[in-house]
Structure 1
Amino acid sequence: MIDTSTNMLYHIGNLNTENRRVSFQMATGKKIDNGSEDSLLHANLINLEDKLRVTEGLKLQITKTQVMNEVSDSSLQELKTLLNKQDNGVITDLLKGLNSGMQRSDKLALATSLRGMRENMFDLLNARVDGEYVFTGSGTDKQTMVKDKNFDQNGKIEFGGDGFLRKVAVQPGSYRDRGITAYDAIFYTSSKSYAGESFTFEEGERIIDENGFEWKLNEAKNQLQKYDYNGNIYHPLNVGPVGDNITALNITSQTAESAATTTSQSVKATYTIANIGNSPAGKMFEAKHNYFDDLNVIIYALEGHATELDGTRGAVIDDELVRQTVSNGLEQTSRQFDATNIGHGELGGRNHVFNIAYDKLEAQETHYNILIQKIGGVDLAKLAMESKALELTYQSLYTTISKMNKLSLLNYMN
Structure 2
Amino acid sequence: MINTLSESMYRLDLLNEKQEKLTYQSSTRKKIDDGSDDSLTFTRQIYLENKVSTFENLKSQIEITTAQNDTADTAVGSIKDKIEIAKNEILRALNGTEQETSRSTIAINVSGLKKSIMLFANEKTNGEYLFAGTNGSQAPFEQDPISGKVSYTGNGYLKRVAVEEGSYRERGVTGFDLMMNTTDKANFGQKLTVSANERVIDNEGNEWVLNDAVPELVKHNVNGATNETMPLTEVLPATTPKTYETTNAISTQGRSLESKENIFDVLDKVINALNQVDETGAPITKDQADSILKEGLEKMNTSFDTVNKAHSDLGVRNKIFEVSYEKLSSKLTHFNVLYENTSGADLAKVAMESKALELTFTSLYSTINKMNQLSLVNFIK
Pairwise same-fold verdict (TM > 0.5): yes
User: Could you tell me whether the CA contact under 8 Å between 1:298 and 1:329 is conserved in 2?
Assistant: yes
- Between stretches 33-42 and 395-404, larger displacement belongs to 395-404
After superposition, where does 1:155-194 map in structure 2 within 5 Å? 155-194=148-187
Residue in 2 aligned with 1:99?
Answer: 95
- One-letter code of the match for 1:400? T
- Residue segments in structure 2 that go unaligned for 5+ positions in a row: none
Where 1:136 maps in the other structure, the secondary structure is coil
Give the counterpart of 2:121 among 119, 122, 125: 125
Q: Shift of the alpha carbon at 1:411? A: 5.7
Where 2:163 maps in the other structure, the secondary structure is strand
Deviations 1:88-140 (A, max 9, x none): x1111111111111012211111111111111111111111121111000111
Residue in 2 aligned with 1:134?
Answer: 130
Residue in 2 aligned with 1:325?
Answer: 292
RMSD between aligned alpha carbons? 1.9
**1:413–1:36 Cα change, 3 Å:** closer
Q: Shift of the alpha carbon at 1:165? A: 0.6
Where 1:315 maps in the other structure, the secondary structure is coil
Q: Shift of the alpha carbon at 1:402? A: 3.6
Q: Shift of the alpha carbon at 1:274? A: 4.3
Aligned length: 381
2:370 maps to 1:389:
no
TM-score computed with the length of structure 2 as normaliser: 0.95
CA distance in 1: counterparts of 2:282 and 2:234, whole angstroms:
30
2:221 maps to 1:254:
no
After superposition, where does 1:365-380 map in structure 2 within 5 Å? 365-380=332-347
User: Could you tell me whether the CA contact under 8 Å between 1:197 and 1:274 is conserved in 2?
Assistant: no
CA distance in 2: counterparts of 1:21 and 1:138, whole angstroms:
53
After superposition, where does 1:190-269 map in structure 2 within 5 Å? 190-230=183-223, 232-235=224-227, 247-255=228-236, 267-269=240-242
CA distance in 2: counterparts of 1:412 and 1:208, whole angstroms:
99
Q: Shift of the alpha carbon at 1:256? A: 6.2
Where 1:252 maps in the other structure, the secondary structure is strand
After superposition, where does 1:306-325 map in structure 2 within 5 Å? 306-308=278-280, 314-325=281-292
User: Could you tell me whether the CA contact under 8 Å between 2:207 and 2:219 is conserved in 1?
Assistant: yes
CA distance in 1: counterparts of 2:255 and 2:214, whole angstroms:
23
User: Could you tell me whether the CA contact under 8 Å between 2:207 and 2:221 is conserved in 1?
Assistant: yes
Deviations 1:31-71 (A, max 9, x none): 11111122222112111211211111111111111111111
- Between stretches 136-145 and 35-44, larger displacement belongs to 35-44
CA distance in 1: counterparts of 2:237 and 2:114, whole angstroms:
30
2:239 maps to 1:272:
no
**1:413–1:159 Cα change, 3 Å:** closer
CA distance in 1: counterparts of 2:203 and 2:197, whole angstroms:
19
Q: Shift of the alpha carbon at 1:201? A: 1.1
Where 1:180 maps in the other structure, the secondary structure is coil
Residue in 2 aligned with 1:285?
Answer: 257
User: Could you tell me whether the CA contact under 8 Å between 1:256 and 1:270 is conserved in 2?
Assistant: no
Residue in 2 aligned with 1:302?
Answer: 274
TM-score computed with the length of structure 1 as normaliser: 0.87
Residue in 2 aligned with 1:108?
Answer: 104
CA distance in 1: counterparts of 2:44 and 2:334, whole angstroms:
15
Q: Shift of the alpha carbon at 1:13? A: 1.0
**1:305–1:412 Cα change, 3 Å:** closer
- Between stretches 140-149 and 348-357, larger displacement belongs to 140-149
CA distance in 2: counterparts of 1:40 and 1:403, whole angstroms:
43
Residue in 2 aligned with 1:243?
Answer: none
- Between stretches 174-183 and 43-52, larger displacement belongs to 43-52
- One-letter code of the match for 2:143? K
User: Could you tell me whether the CA contact under 8 Å between 2:133 and 2:157 is conserved in 1?
Assistant: yes
Residue in 2 aligned with 1:148?
Answer: 144
CA distance in 2: counterparts of 1:413 and 1:36, whole angstroms:
42
CA distance in 2: counterparts of 1:409 and 1:40, whole angstroms:
50
Q: Shift of the alpha carbon at 1:398? A: 2.4
User: Could you tell me whether the CA contact under 8 Å between 1:256 and 1:268 is conserved in 2?
Assistant: no
- Between stretches 268-277 and 167-176, larger displacement belongs to 268-277
- One-letter code of the match for 1:254? V
Residue in 1 aligned with 2:31?
Answer: 31
- One-letter code of the match for 2:153? G
Residue in 2 aligned with 1:244?
Answer: none
Q: Percent identical across equivalent pairs?
A: 36
- One-letter code of the match for 2:328? L
CA distance in 2: counterparts of 1:284 and 1:268, whole angstroms:
24
- Residue segments in structure 1 that go unaligned for 5+ positions in a row: 236-246, 259-266, 309-313
Q: Shift of the alpha carbon at 1:273? A: 1.5
User: Could you tell me whether the CA contact under 8 Å between 2:186 and 2:250 is conserved in 1?
Assistant: no
CA distance in 1: counterparts of 2:274 and 2:10, whole angstroms:
101
CA distance in 1: counterparts of 2:162 and 2:295, whole angstroms:
44
CA distance in 2: counterparts of 1:409 and 1:48, whole angstroms:
59
User: Could you tell me whether the CA contact under 8 Å between 1:199 and 1:275 is conserved in 2?
Assistant: no
Q: Shift of the alpha carbon at 1:181? A: 0.4
- Between stretches 28-37 and 5-14, larger displacement belongs to 5-14
Deviations 1:338-383 (A, max 9, x none): 0100000000111111111111111111111111122222211111
Q: Shift of the alpha carbon at 1:8? A: 2.5
CA distance in 1: counterparts of 2:68 and 2:140, whole angstroms:
14
